[in-house]
Structure 1
């Protein structure tokens, strides 16, 4: 029986590593640097070894590893955190005198974890990368302003390395403040990509995959992005191809996770970062049947590679993190996120009911977090930013543009039925959504499939419009605002014919100056700029854009409009607030405020 030292066991991803290796028949020594390590409360470690925290002393850390290797006759040392991978690679020549060290070279680990390097790598192999400005040695405000003119808000501000600490900003003052806070260590300004986080996990040998897995995030620790709190298996040939392309180019050996964002509107994949280490959502892959810890040790100790890996289609929830991350936002938010992240089975959660001491500790931790939830914290139904208040009270509002479905009205369209029909007709691919398929056909100039998909969905949209009735309050508000010489436009991913019918049924068609449906363009920013051009409004126009998605918010910023999100969803309201964007749970509420402000002007 081989002895495996796992360092350090204070990370959440250490748990599946230790469990995996124990079940594989290895003797597992858990290296700990704190007495509150989760590994101490588990049946899977065979023994514990004290490892010095590397952030306190690099040399003492390495010395403690050597000591643990000698004392426990360790055959292989499995790193867990990025700093563990980094320092094991840095001192690999020394450590390999005592045990196998399953990491690639120090130079490669450093390069791959650098956002600067990742951007250059993506460009060299034709992989999309968010537009990025690197400020490494000095802060050039002229460059910052030029970048802002090109990309627009919102922006993501982060550091270069593994602990990038991303922050989302949507105004110039916050941007400069964040840059100044990070200037010493280098700053990266990046385009905000709206979409879902997906990942390609791999164990590779000189750039050739040994084991692979893909995931998609369902919910994240932060409403705008971050570590997974629920994720699922993902089967996407395009993502697989992109991941393999990067692994092959780097010639990497070891475990690695490559993070992408699948852009919501186009379905394009953007490389976000390369992690030459074990990743936070490792337990999902392990539960789905792709046992990376075991494969890594088997490969380095025995030269064995898994022959066939059946992958299960599952989801996994980190329930304790769900509760600890969202309890601070109040009970309503917590209930909503828990409903979204509940596991299909307790076995597919970090509660680990098959490990009694761990289950007990996790349950106590979750209970303690629940008890801290405050009923006094509430996400208000309406929130107005200073920018929107200034527009209403200090300037002349002359333009309102709104999305239709999900904003003005909720159309009763059986999207699952529609999607299945489109799949059977070969009009969309299994790993692509309906809207992104429209956009891809549009950008490629493929008129025939675009038109066929358009006609298929239009019938359902027309039927949904027929179910609508006149909204007297909405009609009166549109009329009152229109009397103040405000232009109205509606932009929609629905067909123009369906939009016209919906607005007519609601009793507001006569107050709308311009309608842009997907017939004209399915791209939201182009739809906004086209609507403004069609109304003949000269800059500087002063307008508001209502929408229900982050795509709407980003397009509004780019079009020079003040965004306002319409949503009843608490998590989506948190997203808006984090971006310093106004929101309301109903469009009539914000229209009442606008109407009142215009009457007082």
Structure 2
């Protein structure tokens, strides 16, 4: 029986790979966590995984066939995607994987489309009684305000406009840009909330983690908080049709007024998830139990409050490195943390 897991677009997600390795070994002694990446020989996560493969870009027409072939060869049972651009194509082709006994941990196509369009996810928030930033009238501007694309990621095309002189024709000509209320960071804390939804779309865990410092779009310093956001999400999003696995939700929270503002939902593991894992929210184990052991997941709230994560750079050294190496890795590596 296939008891292996594949993490796609592995990149620098070393902690995520290791968490899956640790949890999988507890259940399946011979289970392996493989990785794929467009450039695996330069991916730290690929070198700490149990083996890797090189894949074409997700936009390549042969990507799905190639991924299925890799999964069959490596006897993969679960696929865990990690970047937004993979989600749509995996959801569109989910049945192709299921026919081969391979389970992509990806939400329904309909829900992913909602998450990928910030205009639609705003409607979703409103329908579920979640406050959102107010829309700013382009013909009657009040400063400051915030501009972002409805389909953006990685902080591209995001602007804080504090005065009229900062506006350019580009801001008005680009139809993808949304003009929104500016949420002042002096008054509001920014939270990523790691949630887990079971295969029926039922909420099973909520972990708010405050984003203290962000580097290159990923949390570098953060802390878990059992605050008002937990009940806020529990009461409003206890079930999401089509949602499965880890969903990272972005909220702003005013600790004085207690206003909570929904920003976006990313239906995948976020870069800062390792903090929630180390706090006790064991989503890799939830996935293994639910999809490989066919067990039900109970609601979990016994995770550690006020756990601070401080990240730092670390080295993965690859000996006898060969460029363009695309085979399953058996290269000896040196990792200072044992």
User: TM over 0.5: same fold?
Assistant: yes
Q: Which structure has the larger Rg?
A: 1
Q: 2:295 aligns with which of 289, 304, 308?
A: 304
**Cα distance in structure 2, aligned partners of 1:230 and 1:192:** 23
Please say if 1:19 is aligned against 2:18.
yes
The one-character-per-residue Cα deviations of 1:438-497 (angstroms, maximum 9, x if unpaired) are xxxxxxxxxxxxxxxxxxxxxxxxxxxxxxxxxxxxxxxxxxxxxxxxxxxxxxxxxxxx
Q: In the alignment, is residue 86 of structure 1 matched against residue 79 of structure 2?
A: no
Normalization by structure 1: what TM-score?
Answer: 0.47
Residue 220 of structure 1 pairs with residue 222 of structure 2: no
Q: Secondary structure at the match of 1:286?
A: helix
Give the aligned partner of residue 422 of structure 1: none
- Matched residue SS, 2:281: coil
Q: After the TM superposition, which segments of 4 or more aligned residues of structure 1 sit over 6 Å from their partners?
A: none
Q: State whether structure 2 residue 36 is matched by structure 1 residue 31.
A: yes
Check if 1:179 corresponds to 2:185: no
Aligned 8 A contact 1:41 1:357 in 2 = no
Q: CA deviation at 1:359?
A: 4.5
Provide the TM-score with structure 2 as the length reference: 0.81
1:92-138 CA-partner distances (Å, limit 9, x unpaired): 111222211222211211112321112212222322111125xxxxx
Cα distance in 2, alignment partners of residues 316 and 162 from structure 1:
27
What is residue 467 of structure 1 aligned with on the other side? none
Partner of residue 9, structure 1: 10
Q: CA deviation at 1:267?
A: 2.7
Aligned pairs (5 A) from 1:137-286: 143-146=137-140, 148=141, 152-163=142-153, 165=156, 166-180=158-172, 183-184=174-175, 186-194=176-184, 195-205=188-198, 206-221=200-215, 227-236=218-227, 238-248=228-238, 250-251=240-241, 252-263=243-254, 266-286=257-277
- Equivalent pairs, count: 301
CA distance in 1, matches of 2:95, 2:42: 32
Q: Given the superposition, is the C-alpha separation of residues 304 and 211 from structure 1 closer, same or farther in structure 2, using an over 3 Å criterion?
A: farther
Alignment of 1:195-594 (within 5 A): 195-205=188-198, 206-221=200-215, 227-236=218-227, 238-248=228-238, 250-251=240-241, 252-263=243-254, 266-307=257-298, 310-313=302-305, 314-320=307-313, 357-359=334-336
Query: Does the residue aligned with 1:320 lie in a helix, a strand or coil?
Result: coil
Note the aligned Cα RMSD (angstroms). 2.4
Offset from partner CA, 1:524-559 (integer Å, 9 cap, x none): xxxxxxxxxxxxxxxxxxxxxxxxxxxxxxxxxxxx
Q: 2:52 aligns with which of 48, 53, 69?
A: 48
What's the CA shift for 1:247? 2.9
What is the alpha-carbon distance in structure 1 between the residues aligned to residue 295 and residue 168 of structure 2? 52
**8 Å CA contact 2:206, 2:233 repeated in 1:** no
SS in 1 for 2:103: coil
Given candidates 105, 108, 112, the residue that maps to 1:105 is 108
Segments of structure 1 that go 5 or more residues without pairing to the other structure are 134-142, 322-355, 361-601
CA shift, 1:306, in A, is: 4.9
**Compared CA separation, residues 176 and 318, structure 1 to 2 (3 A):** same
Q: CA deviation at 1:279?
A: 1.0
